[in-house]
Amino acid sequence: MTKVAVFLGSVSDEDTMRPCAEVLASFGVPFVFTVTSAHRTPERTRRLVAELEAQGCQVFICAAGMAAHLAGAVAAATIRPVLGVPITASALGGMDALLSTVQMPPGFPVGTVALDAAGARNAAWLALEILALSDPALAQGIAKARQGFVVAVEKAAAELEARTPKKA
């Protein structure tokens, strides 16, 4: 059963969104990673949403650059959570993608994360948190991963402090 769908507005977004797939895979969450366009292939987008919902998809992650509004098109086709990842793809430095993703009409929300690879990772983490609401084992896995972040920061701090000269 597919639990998460990751839609790229263009194949050129693949490298930027690969961290999203890596986070989902690291937790063993079944997902689809594909290309569809709100503007170039609107029928494909609607068909994918319907098919994936029928297969049990619970969260949609949509990445697009410029003013391409993939996340909004998906939000219009589902009542499942939609997470948007704005991609830097124009001279506007991602601001166009950010605004087109975050500015949604009432009743059609898109949870918007950071631009580019940082957003790709956080979209996966947010999808995991949504899924963990009904999956205690996944919730435990997220908690364990977060504890690993704590350990890594503590270790890095100790190493930095150990190689920093002390004043007498």
Are residues 86 and 148 both part of a single domain? no
| Domain total in the chain | 2
Q: What pTM was computed for the model? A: 0.95
Can you tell me the distance from the alpha carbon of 91 to that of 158, in angstroms, rounded to the nearest whole number? Answer: 42
The pLDDT tens digits of the residues spanning 90-132 come to 999 999 999 999 999 999 999 999 999 999 999 999 999 999 9
Residue 112 CA from chain centroid, whole number:
9
Are residues 127 and 147 both part of a single domain? no
Q: What's the domain range around 91? A: 4-134
The pLDDT tens digits of the residues spanning 34-82 come to 999 999 999 999 999 999 999 999 999 999 999 879 999 999 999 999 9
Question: Which alpha helices (DSSP H) does 27-69 contain, by range?
Answer: 42-54
Are residues 63 and 145 both part of a single domain? no
Can you tell me the distance from the alpha carbon of 122 to that of 41, in angstroms, rounded to the nearest whole number? Answer: 26
Are residues 129 and 89 both part of a single domain? yes
Are residues 123 and 163 both part of a single domain? no
Are residues 69 and 24 both part of a single domain? yes
Locate 98 and state its tokens: 């950010």
Are residues 59 and 93 both part of a single domain? yes
